[in-house]
Structure formats: structure tokens, C-alpha cells
Amino acid sequence: MEKKEKFGKLRELGLKLTPQRLAILDFLDGNTSHPSAEEIYANVSRSFPSMSFATVYNTLDALRERGQIVELNLDPAKKRFDPNTKPHHHLVCASCYKIVDVMRDYRVRIPPEERSGFRLQGKQITFIGTCPECQAAEAPAEAP
């Protein structure tokens, strides 16, 4: 996203235009790693050492409230953020909590008698497994 577009986006969202907020948007733009607030802070604070963690958290909260990012609670240690707001599912590694997008839709139907009166608005499926890196680390070392 170009700088002019980012300014426009922040302005449309009613957010104050600051270099730090632009850097946060820049970091999130196209990011598929589902970063935590801490990871975003660590990355962006390299360019803005005086930036506070509160700036990152408040910006993420404002973006979430305005539907620009999705907050994920798939990692028990920290919240993760997804700039892809289109409906999709996730693969989550049970060892390292790496999160990967699954863009294919899967038909899942919950019978009315099992909905507890809920009116469904959508779905998000979380697949849990072990990523290739963790599988490799778990593999027994080969004997020489």
C-alpha cells in the first residue's frame, strides 16, 4: 500500500495520522504471519525507538474496532492479529502456535436443535496439528 493510500485509510478510519501508525499499517499490510502485539512492537520500534507498546496496542485495538484486522485467540500465551478480514480458517501448530491461513471453505452445518438458540453469522474452523518445522524437531536423530 502506498503512503498516500495509508494516509487516506487512517483518515477514513478517524485515526490520527502519525508515522508510528503508518509503520504499524505498513507492517500489517500483506502480513500472513498473524503477529502478536509484541512482535509488531519489536519490528516497528526498530525504526521508532521512542514508540511505546501502548501505541501499538491502542492502534491494533482501533483497527480491530473498525474491522480492519481480526484478533485471534488461538495462542494461549498471546493474542495474535490477522490483517486478512475475509472469511477464512486457520491451521495452528500445537507445539509452536504457528498459524497458517486456509482459504478454502468447508461446509459445516449445525442442526437447529444443537444451536442453543444462536442465530449463526458465520464460521471459523481451527485445524490443530504439528507444523513441518516442529515435526522435523521431533524426529529422532539419525545414528551416524
Question: Residue ranges for the binding site for Zn(2+)?
Answer: 93, 96, 131, 134
Tell me if residue 48 falls in helix, strand or coil: coil
4: nearest Cα among 17, 15, 20: 17
Binding-site sequence positions: 93, 96, 131, 134
* Helices (runs of H) and strands (runs of E) counted in the chain: 5, 5
Return the C-alpha cell found at 74.
488461538
Q: Which residue has the cell 495509508?
A: 6
Residues 90 and 72: beta-carbon distance below 8 Å: yes
Return the C-alpha cell found at 57.
496496542
CA distance linking residue 63 with residue 21, whole number of Å: 10
